[in-house]
Amino acid sequence: MVTINKLEIENVKRVKAVKLEPSATGLTIVGGNNNQGKTSVLDAIAWALGGNKYKPSQAQREGSTIPPILKITLSNGLVVERSGKNSTLKVIDPSGNKAGQNLLDSFVEELAINLPKFMEQTSKEKAKTLLQIIGVGPQLAELELQEKAKYDERHTIGVIADQKEKFAKEQPYYPDAPKELISIAELIQQQQAILAKNGENARKRQNLVVIQNQHDSAVAEVERLEQLLADAKEKESQLAQDLAIANTDAMDILDESTEEIEQNIAEIDEINRKVRANLDKDKAEEDAKGYREQYKELDNVIADIRKKKTDLLTNADLPLPGLSVDDGELLYLGQRWDNMSGSQQLQVATAIVRKLKPECGFVLIDKLEQMDQQTLQEFGQWLEREGLQAIATRVSTGDECSILIEDGYSVKPVEFASAAQQGHAETVAPTWQGGF
Mean pLDDT computed over 220-247: 74
**Domain boundaries, position 189:** 169-302
Looking at the structure, tell me whether residues 103 and 173 fall in a common domain: no
Last residue of a domain, one of 256, 287, 302: 302
Each residue's pLDDT tens digit, 156-194: 998 998 998 888 888 888 888 888 877 778 778 878 888
Angle at 117 between CA 402 and CA 397, to 5 degrees: 20
**Neighbour count for residue 337 (Cβ, 10 Å):** 20
Residue 150 maps to a domain: no
> Where do the H-state alpha helices sit in 225-258?
229-251
Residue 142 maps to a domain: no
Looking at the structure, tell me whether residues 298 and 182 fall in a common domain: yes
Paired residues of 99 in beta bridges? 91
Judged by average pLDDT, the poorest of 15-24, 95-104, 122-131, 391-400 is: 122-131
The residue among 160 and 418 whose pLDDT is bigger is 160
Range of 138-142, 187-191, 309-313, 421-425 with top mean pLDDT: 187-191
Looking at the structure, tell me whether residues 175 and 284 fall in a common domain: yes
Residue 29 maps to a domain: yes
Residue 340 maps to a domain: no
Residue 11 maps to a domain: yes
Q: How far apart are CA 34 and CA 424, in angstroms?
A: 17
Looking at the structure, tell me whether residues 173 and 281 fall in a common domain: yes
Looking at the structure, tell me whether residues 173 and 298 fall in a common domain: yes
Mean pLDDT computed over 99-113: 87
E-state strands within 141-296: none
Of the CA atoms within 13 Å of residue 163, those in its CB half-sphere come to 7
Sign of CA dihedral 107, 113, 117, 123: positive
- What pLDDT sits at residue 11? 94
- For the chain, the domain total comes to 2
Q: Is the pLDDT of residue 254 over 90?
A: no
- What pLDDT sits at residue 416? 38
- What pLDDT sits at residue 227? 67
Looking at the structure, tell me whether residues 368 and 265 fall in a common domain: no
Looking at the structure, tell me whether residues 174 and 272 fall in a common domain: yes
Q: Is the pLDDT of residue 414 over 80?
A: no
Q: Are the CB atoms for 249 and 204 separated by under 8 Å?
A: yes
Residue 21 backbone dihedrals phi, psi, to 5 degrees:
-115, 90
Looking at the structure, tell me whether residues 173 and 280 fall in a common domain: yes
Looking at the structure, tell me whether residues 175 and 298 fall in a common domain: yes
pTM comes to 0.57
Q: Is the pLDDT of residue 431 over 50?
A: no
Q: How far apart are CA 83 and CA 93, in angstroms?
A: 17
**CA nearest 143: which of 322, 297, 295, 313?**
313
- Parallel, antiparallel, or unpaired: how do β-strands 403-406 and 79-83 relate? unpaired
- Count the residues in the chain: 436
Residue 241 maps to a domain: yes
State the pLDDT confidence band at 436, using cuts at 50, 70 and 90: very low
Last residue of a domain, one of 302, 326, 349: 302
Paired residues of 7 in beta bridges? 20, 72
Paired residues of 79 in beta bridges? 73, 92
Residue 351 maps to a domain: no
Q: Are the CB atoms for 391 and 364 separated by under 8 Å?
A: yes
Paired residues of 73 in beta bridges? 6, 79
Looking at the structure, tell me whether residues 188 and 296 fall in a common domain: yes
Q: How far apart are CA 165 and CA 281, in angstroms?
A: 9
As a whole number, the mean pLDDT across the chain is 82
Each residue's pLDDT tens digit, 382-405: 999 989 999 999 999 988 999 999
3 state DSSP class of 78: coil
Q: Are the CB atoms for 131 and 325 separated by under 8 Å?
A: yes
Task: Please report, for the domain that includes residue 394, its CATH number.
Answer: 3.40.50.300
- What pLDDT sits at residue 136? 61
Last residue of a domain, one of 255, 283, 302: 302
Looking at the structure, tell me whether residues 278 and 399 fall in a common domain: no
Residue 180 maps to a domain: yes
Judged by average pLDDT, the poorest of 56-65, 157-166, 324-333 is: 324-333
